[in-house]
Amino acid sequence: MRFSKTLIPTLREAPAEAEAISHILMLRAGYVRQLASGLYIYLPLGWRVLNRINKIIKEEMDSIGDQEISMPVLHPAEIWQQTGRWSEIGEEMFRLRDRTNRDMCLGMTHEEIITWLASKEIRSYRDLPQSWYQIQTKLRDEARPKSGILRTREFLMKDCYSFDKDEAGLEENYKKHEEAYHRIYKRCGLNFYQVESDPGMMGGSTAHEFMAPSLAGEDEIVLCDKCGYSANREVEKGDKCPKCNEPLKAEKAIEIGNIFKLGTKYTIALKAVYLDEQGKEKPIVMGCYGIGPARIAASAVEQSHDRDGIIWPESIAPFDVEIITLNMNKTEVLNASESLYGVLKSRGVDALIDDRDVSPGVKFKDADLIGIPWQIVVGEKNIKDGFVELKYRKTKEVEKVRPEEAVKRLTERH
């Protein structure tokens, strides 16, 4: 992609309303813009990051046999009334009426809808297990949206729901998803912990949260260095580890995912049942598994940046490499840059070429701010001797190499 033709509105100074580091950097580097409190527009770079995260999520979900579907954002009230949540949930649910005056709401989660689907389509134990997921918009009228894209009123969520005939099946599904989540966060380049959590209003017995340590986090987790015990501060009130009695240490963290054993709370309410081997009717046993892609992105920025800007993990960066054409008025420089750009593209390496007619300083500053992991600097002096510079954003380490060598190295990584 060409910088000169792409909407990448970088800011020299941070807007006053931003406080969290990820918020400041994503605003300054031109990834997002705020429409209103808790509502964000993803610009080209931001949307690319989100899509790369979603791709990783899909690959891992598909790998354990989950099936992608898509459910509506607009829901009829009746289904929510059947589970009781229409009245249990307060102002956090956006409610509205359609033209026939029918009560509707905007989906803040999809247990009701997916269970409705299961109730219609699953008849027999032979139909189980099933596991369906979507990456869909959720709407919650948050009391206090905050920290940029960390806590918004409209956000993307990967939500997955498993259906089993019994607890043993649920246990197996739960385990599979737990493991897939570990792979997802690892692939996204995050530091994270899995902690025990309170199922709360979701109902059910067991729940775990996935937490990315960061000062911008709203949650506090407690950890035991000795035995590895970890929990959300909300459930663990003491200072000593309940497993080995060692002192616990506390850390701020961002919740980047959660998994719940829901049991039969929703399936009983919505009559999602099946016939077992004996022809006996039983409620389906459910689990649900959520991930917030935007929170993964924000956590990555919180965990990986320096004074100059973002340092993206290679797996979720908006591009693999940025070509910095230093002297737009020198044909050798221009030709070498363009040829590199063409070759990289043809080899499947995602490249952004900074072809703007601005001073070198601006390009260096913007490149560091945007945080693409690799930079190829094409300058007048080096190109005369047939060299370009391959620069690693994270360490700022620079290597003088032949263009072919730069291509080779990036192709290998890719």
List the beta bridge partners of residue 289: 160, 259
- When asked if residue 389 is in the footprint of RNA (CB under 7 A), the reply is yes
Listing DSSP states for 153-193 in one string gives SEEEEEEEEEEESSHHHHHHHHHHHHHHHHHHHHHTT---E
- Minimum separation from the CB atom of position 277 to RNA (A): 34
Single-letter amino acid code for the residue at 231 = A
Q: Which among 54, 31, 21 is positioned nearest to 370, based on CA atoms? A: 31
Q: Give residues with Cβ within 8 angstroms of 59, minimum separation 6.
A: none
Site string (46-65) toward RNA, x via CB under 7 A: --------------------
Ranges within 341-380 binding RNA (CB under 7 A)? 357, 359-362, 364-369, 377, 379-380
Say whether residue 79 binds RNA (CB under 7 A).
Answer: no
Nearer to RNA, 127 or 199 (CB): 199
Return the H-helix or E-strand segment holding 252: strand 249-263
Does residue 256 belong to the site contacting RNA (CB under 7 A)?
no
Q: Name the strand (E) or helix (H) holding 95.
A: strand 95-97
- Cβ at position 282, least distance to RNA in Å: 25
Structure tokens at 194: 């899995």
Give me the phi and psi of 295, to 5 degrees please.
Answer: -70, -30
Query: If you count DSSP H runs as helices and E runs as strands, how many of each does the chain have, helices first?
Result: 12, 23
Nearest to 170 by CA among 277, 70, 263, 236: 263
**What tokens were used for 19?**
């406080």
Measured from the CB atom, the residue of 145 and 318 that comes closer to RNA is 145
Q: Which of residues 130-189 bind RNA (CB under 7 A)?
A: 140, 142-147, 151
> Nearest to residue 381, comparing CAs of 397, 404, 400, 366?
400
Q: Is 326 in the site for RNA (CB under 7 A)?
A: yes
Q: Minimum Å distance from CB 106 to RNA? A: 13
Which one of the spans 34-42, 47-55, 176-184, 405-413 is the region binding RNA (CB under 7 A)? 34-42
Closest C-alpha among 60, 63, 33, 62 to residue 45 = 33
Residue 328 Cβ vs RNA, minimum distance, rounded to whole Å: 6
- Site size for RNA (CB under 7 A): 62
334 binds RNA, rule: CB under 7 A: no
Residues numbered 291 to 320 that lie near RNA (CB under 7 A) are: 308
Q: CB 126 → RNA: shortest distance, Å?
A: 31
Strand residues in 43-94 grouped as ranges (E): 67-68, 74-76
DSSP at 284: P
Specify the residue, 82 or 327, whose C-beta has the smaller distance to RNA. Answer: 327
* Burial class of residue 142, CB neighbours in 10 A (0-12, 13-18, 19+): middle
Phi and psi at residue 131, to the nearest 5°:
-150, 115
User: Is residue 402 at the binding interface for RNA, with CB under 7 A as the rule?
Assistant: no
173 neighbors 128 (Cβ within 8 angstroms): no
- In the complex with RNA, the residue whose CB is nearer, 41 or 398, is 398
Using CB under 7 A, which of 8, 108, 195, 212 touches RNA?
108
Q: What letter does residue 149 receive in the DSSP assignment?
A: G
Contact segment (CB under 7 A) with RNA among 32-40, 66-74, 183-191, 343-351 equals 32-40
CB 168 to RNA: min, Å: 25
> Residue 331 CB, nearest distance to RNA (Å)?
13
Q: Is 328 in the site for RNA (CB under 7 A)?
A: yes
| Residue placing its CB nearer to RNA in the complex, 298 or 407 | 298
Residues that bind RNA (CB under 7 A): 10-17, 19-20, 23, 28, 34, 36-38, 85, 88-90, 92-93, 108-109, 140, 142-147, 151, 200-202, 218-219, 308, 326-329, 357, 359-362, 364-369, 377, 379-382, 389, 391, 396, 398
